[in-house]
Amino acid sequence: MGSETDPLEGGAYDTVDVGHDGYVGRITLDRPEAMNTFSTGLAVDLDDALHELDERDDVRAVVIDGAGDAFSAGIDVSEHGDYDTKAEYEEWVARMEDPFHTLTEMHTPVVAAAHGHAAANGLGLVAACDLAVAAEGTMFGATAPKVGLFCMGPSVPLMKTLTRKRCLEMVLTGELIDAETALEWGVINRVTPEGDHVDGAVELAETMASKSPAAVQMGKQAYYEMEDMPYHEALEYSNEQFAGLCTTADANEGIEAFLSGEPLSADEWPGE
C-alpha cells in the first residue's frame, strides 16, 4: 500500500489487505499474481471489508487500490468451468457484483486508486466508487467481448457515469482508453503522475474526512436516493433530509464554530 497503514482488529482476509491511516480506511486488492481479478473469494472479501469499514466510527472515507501491476483486470474467468447451468452462473456473477451494491448503499464515501489496468469488473469497480483517481498510463476497458462475454454488470455503474454514446462505445467495442481519455469522459476525477495514484486518492479521502461526518454520510445517502427520482420529488426528499441534518450535533456545533470564526477541525466534529 502507498503509505503506512494500521491493520484493523477485525477479521483477516485472504485476498484483500485492510487497514486504516487516520480517518481513512484502506483496502488493497491482493491477488497480484492474477492481476487482482475478481475470484469468488476476492468478491466476498471486498464486500465484507467494505461493510466492516462502513461500520467503524473512526473511518470517514475509504480508498481502494490494487497490489502489483494492475488495479483489477476483471472477473477470474478460470472459474467459468466450475459451473454448468444458467442458474449457477447467475449466482456466481451476482456474488461478483455484490460490492457494486454495497458501494452505493454504505454511508462512507469510497475513492478508487487505479493503476496499470482497470478492465471489465475492475472498470466497473472504478465506476461504482464515489470518486476515482488514476495514475498516468492506466488503461480502462470493458474488455469482456474479447473472451465471448459482455460487461453487463459493469455497464450499470458505467451508465450512471458516462453519456449513453460513451458508455456504449466502451461496452460494445471492448477497446481500452487511457487515463487522460477516462478523465475527459468522466470515468475518473483526477490523473496523477505514475506511482502517485494512492497518495492522490488518500488526499481526496482526507479532504472528505476533515468535513462533518454526519453531513458527508447523510449527503452521500441522499444523493443516491435522489439520483433517479423525478425532479420535484427529489427536491422534496432533499428538504426532508436537510431538515434532519439541521438537528444534528455536527450542524449545531459546526455552524456555531463557523460563525465564531474558528471552523471545526477533523478531530473536533461530534460525529452525531
**110 with 133: CB under 8 angstroms?**
no
What would the pLDDT profile of 61-99 be if each residue is shown by its tens digit?
999 999 999 999 999 999 999 999 999 999 999 999 999
Among candidates 31, 26, 23, which has minimal Cα distance to 5? 26
Question: Does 6-209 carry CATH code 3.90.226.10?
Answer: yes
What would the pLDDT profile of 213-264 be if each residue is shown by its tens digit?
999 999 999 999 999 999 999 999 999 999 999 999 999 999 999 999 999 9
Residue 152 pairs with which residues in a beta bridge? none
What would the pLDDT profile of 104-140 be if each residue is shown by its tens digit?
999 999 999 999 999 999 999 999 999 999 999 999 9
Listed by start position, the domains of the chain span 6-209, 213-268
Distance, CA of 70 to CA of 46 (rounded, Å): 16
For 158-161, which contacts have Cβ atoms below 8 Å and span 24 or more sequence positions?
A: 158/123, 158/124, 158/127, 158/187, 160/127, 160/227, 161/127, 161/186, 161/187
Tell me if 6-209 shares its fold with 213-268. Answer: no
Considering the domain delimited by 213-268, tell me its CATH architecture.
Answer: Orthogonal Bundle (1.10)
Quick check: pTM over 0.85? yes
Percent of the chain residues past pLDDT 70, beyond the cut: 96
